[in-house]
Structure 1
Amino acid sequence: MTDVDVLIVGAGPAGLAAAVELRRSGVSVEIVDQRETIGGAIYRQPIAGVSPVRQTASAERRWHALADDFAASGIAVRHRSVFVGVDGTGLVLIEDRHAGKVRQIAARAVILAVGAVEKVLPRPGWQLAGVSTAGGLQVMMKETGRAPVGRVLLAGNGPLLIAVAAQMAKLGNPPAAIVEAGDPLRRFAAGVGLCAYPDLVTEALAYLRTVHLHRIPWMRTASVVGIERRNNSLRALVRDGRGRERVFEVDRIGLHDGIRPNEFGLPAEHTEEASHPVILRAGDCREALGARAAISDGRRAAGEIARRLSGGGSRPGNEIKRLRQAQDVLGRLFQPVDRADPLLRLPDETILCRCESRTVGDLRRLCAGPDAPSGREVKHNGRYAMGSCQGRFCADNTAALMAALGPDQPPPSPEDLTGRRWPIRPVPIGAIVAARGDETIPQDEQQD
């Protein structure tokens, strides 16, 4: 028995675009999303009674076009529902937080469209209260319609820092400064290459204009090398490419070092039709290229599924390839000027695994012997990736530092520390019991 032809996990741009395309192909489709509203992180909708934060004109046009198409489709969304995994019989398990129970859904295909996560490199003091991701500050602004209060420092690498600074300024609280590891103004060749993508140039110029008008300092070729708590404020030590240092006394710090696919704990893509559904990934969880590419990739995944299920569906165009090239240009434009590995320069006392308070020095000592430990040995002997996040936030940095410490050894992967498992996240025991209570217990399982 099939409950729905295609189940889509995630109501961001990729998931919504895939759903609309599938409905046009005559395929039954349903979406599950952990939030009460659609849009994902990129198009995060405000809470009730709050006006949306204004974005660039092109971004707003994309969102309204997608949202209108989705509203007209009449596709059902299971809100406050968390994807748990696909069980051994091929059923999709969903934690329904409205009902407080786990539900089983039989689908012929599943599209995973769960977006991207921010990359944040460790720095001394990055675990302190008041230090968050810059993207987290941006999402908060989209939800509440307000800028974060107090003095805020934005630091790291990439164009998102400029976008967040501009949005903060428009909401009345420009950041104290932007600390950028690259220097896009000095990379003329890459900047010329960006002219092939006029939409990106228009958005970038709009953000830069806002930063300039509000006189927000943009410190390039610089980085935060230490954070300390001083009474009720944070003290951030910033060092530029010439070794000059400056201290910022702020209330909050937003860090950002790029984005990567949110693939932690996801089942592998599965295209062989057997007892399990066809599983495809779409959007930033397959390749982190931004909102435009996510919409195109959602349509690509929908077309592939439709062809498998009914022989219909559209063929993908070249839009994703073009946007991949645009991201490559941005990567060169914002490439950190200092090419030395930042992980190797961290002091031993720097926290690497925040859940278990394991430090860079702890890992160096584990890797100091003649036989380099495997990722699994580091996990069990050093407790890296053993905390409540199970490596969601530390496995990438731990594996990267292990590779840097042992350049002559085969480089470990984050999966060496985390393994491949589901559920993706803990499920309340009560939700499992409630699901069991919905079933009739077979006679041979009943007890006197």
Structure 2
Amino acid sequence: MRGDPDILVVGGGPAGVAAATAAAESGLSVILSEMRASLGGAIHRQPAPGSKPIAPLPSLRGRWQSLRSALTASGAEVATRRSFIGIDSTGAVMIDNRVTGQLEIYRPRALILACGALEVVRPRPGWQLPGVVTAGGLQVMLKEGCVPKGRILIAGSGPLLLALATQLTAAGQPPVAVVEGGNPIARPLVALGLLASPSILPDVATLMQPMLMRRFPWWRSTEVETIEQSGDGLAACLRLPNGRIRRIEIDRIALHDGLRSNDFGLPTDGARDGLIVLRVGDVREVLGAHAAEEDGRRAGIEAAMRIKGQAPPAAVSAIIVRERRLQAKLAAIFQPPDRTAAVLNCPDETVICRCENRTLGELKAQLSGRDTMSARELRLNGRFGMGACQGRFCLPSTLSIMAALQPDTIKAEATEVAGQRWPLRPVSLSALADADVAPDRQSAMPS
């Protein structure tokens, strides 16, 4: 069993690695905990042994090597195959060691949470079928060296769609098409704003090149209406800009409707039972890899200074400001139409909560009573958001539908309804019983 570090960092992506490096360089003891077998996160996911790596975008070339070298030189300890379970009622941090099957209890002076972003996928009829994945999940498979076979459709909204299509094409498996809900080409004046961010222009050229060379079609202002089983594969029905429906046979479909912070169940920044807690990178604000690195460095330095009784600098980094402006421009360029009405018009059998297999019809039935139902009552009575993910996937959609059907409902955030519960992970009773907890704290359970 390791001793308690001064600082425990959870998450081995660019933010976590940068935070652990900066904290260790201050002279404090640091443990970097990562759930996978190797560091890198989703952005710098490392290929399996013997697999050919996927070329990163120009702006990211060399970044991982630089980050990894700095981490090694800093002396921070790296612990892989460790899953963050939560913080108990005494402020102890619980980590599941997936190698030994034991529960590790740490009492650091500061905890830095770098759990990344969460991919958003809006409900559609058939989105729960086998063969339907997220674009980010398919991209991770590709980065790890597993090139998917068959006819692949990429659909949703945002630049990640083109990034995945470009990487699939480079791997010899171009998609059948990229279906974009917005129409970036219809916003040329907004797109010209990217000229103020010259660092991203090589990335834009890389993403647009295979599409311009007609390696795959890019259908804009187009939506996936339904996904159906078709023989051994799938069929996607697309609504085209002219309102017509086009049916396309595929083997796999990758959906993506944006990103949001993966902050469900995480404590807010501040102090908890004497423990300094900081969120960093995309778990604090989704701004991309460069901002994540910068925010990680800030958090590592801030944690060290606060432990030493020093006041951290209050100024916001110029890199964070720059990346915030860039993300706002990209969001405006790829802005899709409001999809609340599209979800409301889905068939009643459309699944909304995948963990509990709860449907749109069941959601409407819950809200059809004479009395206005609160969001929490909907969750407890209808079991929306009660599954293993604790609502981090379905509650935002559920609450938007609820607001449309029941306008008098007091607006609530998903985290308010679900409470502070990190998604459930199986931990054996023997691991809990054998956990190294002080005798006077044996009754402490995850909060």
Q: Pick one of 291, 304, 319 that aligns with 1:306.
A: 304
State the partner residue of 2:285: 287
- Counterpart of 2:161, as a letter, is L
Alignment length (residue pairs) = 438
State the partner residue of 2:13: 12
- 1:118-133 matched pairs, under 5 angstroms: 118-133=119-134
Which SS does the other structure have where 1:389 is aligned?
Answer: coil
1:199-218 CA-to-partner distances (Å, cap 9, x unmatched) read: 22210111110233253110
Structure 1 residue 58, shift from structure 2 partner: 2.1
On the 8 A contact 1:306/1:312 being kept in 2, the answer is: no
Which SS does the other structure have where 1:342 is aligned?
Answer: helix
State the partner residue of 2:35: 34
On the 8 A contact 2:121/2:256 being kept in 1, the answer is: yes
Question: Which range moves more in the overlay, 250-259 or 308-317?
Answer: 308-317
CA distance in structure 2 between the partners assigned to 1:75 and 1:313 by the alignment: 21
State the partner residue of 2:260: 260
State the partner residue of 1:225: 225
Which SS does the other structure have where 1:301 is aligned?
Answer: helix
State the partner residue of 2:336: 336
CA distance in structure 2 between the partners assigned to 1:240 and 1:407 by the alignment: 31
Which SS does the other structure have where 1:408 is aligned?
Answer: coil
Structure 1 residue 337, shift from structure 2 partner: 4.3
Structure 1 residue 250, shift from structure 2 partner: 0.2
Structure 1 residue 53, shift from structure 2 partner: 1.0
On the 8 A contact 1:114/1:285 being kept in 2, the answer is: yes
Structure 1 residue 320, shift from structure 2 partner: 0.5
On the 8 A contact 2:59/2:200 being kept in 1, the answer is: no
CA distance in structure 2 between the partners assigned to 1:308 and 1:257 by the alignment: 38
1:274-308 CA-to-partner distances (Å, cap 9, x unmatched) read: x4310010000111111111111111212221221
Which SS does the other structure have where 1:4 is aligned?
Answer: coil
1:239-274 CA-to-partner distances (Å, cap 9, x unmatched) read: 1222022111000000000000011211222236xx
On the 8 A contact 1:402/1:411 being kept in 2, the answer is: no
1:135 aligns with 2:136: yes
Which SS does the other structure have where 1:433 is aligned?
Answer: helix
On the 8 A contact 2:24/2:75 being kept in 1, the answer is: no
State the partner residue of 1:427: 427
Gapped regions of structure 2 (runs ≥ 5)? 442-447
Structure 1 residue 423, shift from structure 2 partner: 7.3
TM-score by length of 1: 0.93
CA distance in structure 2 between the partners assigned to 1:383 and 1:317 by the alignment: 42
1:46 aligns with 2:47: yes
Gapped regions of structure 1 (runs ≥ 5)? 443-448
- Counterpart of 2:88, as a letter, is D
Distance 1:93 1:338, change over 3 A: closer
On the 8 A contact 1:156/1:180 being kept in 2, the answer is: yes
CA distance in structure 2 between the partners assigned to 1:270 and 1:142 by the alignment: 36
1:296-336 CA-to-partner distances (Å, cap 9, x unmatched) read: 11112122212212238776521111101100000000001
CA distance in structure 2 between the partners assigned to 1:93 and 1:340 by the alignment: 38
Q: Percent identity?
A: 45
State the partner residue of 2:204: 204
- 1:184-203 matched pairs, under 5 angstroms: 184-203=184-203
CA distance in structure 1 between the partners assigned to 2:243 and 2:228 by the alignment: 20
CA distance in structure 2 between the partners assigned to 1:372 and 1:174 by the alignment: 49
State the partner residue of 2:366: 366
Distance 1:433 1:221, change over 3 A: same
Distance 1:141 1:66, change over 3 A: same
1:135-176 CA-to-partner distances (Å, cap 9, x unmatched) read: 1000000112x4211000000000000000000000001000
State the partner residue of 1:276: 274
State the partner residue of 2:407: 407
State the partner residue of 2:356: 356
Structure 1 residue 43, shift from structure 2 partner: 0.6
Structure 1 residue 433, shift from structure 2 partner: 3.0
On the 8 A contact 1:375/1:416 being kept in 2, the answer is: no
Aligned-residue RMSD, C-alpha? 2.2
Structure 1 residue 2, shift from structure 2 partner: 7.3
On the 8 A contact 1:221/1:240 being kept in 2, the answer is: yes
CA distance in structure 1 between the partners assigned to 2:157 and 2:358 by the alignment: 25
CA distance in structure 2 between the partners assigned to 1:61 and 1:381 by the alignment: 51
CA distance in structure 1 between the partners assigned to 2:440 and 2:304 by the alignment: 37
CA distance in structure 1 between the partners assigned to 2:440 and 2:368 by the alignment: 55
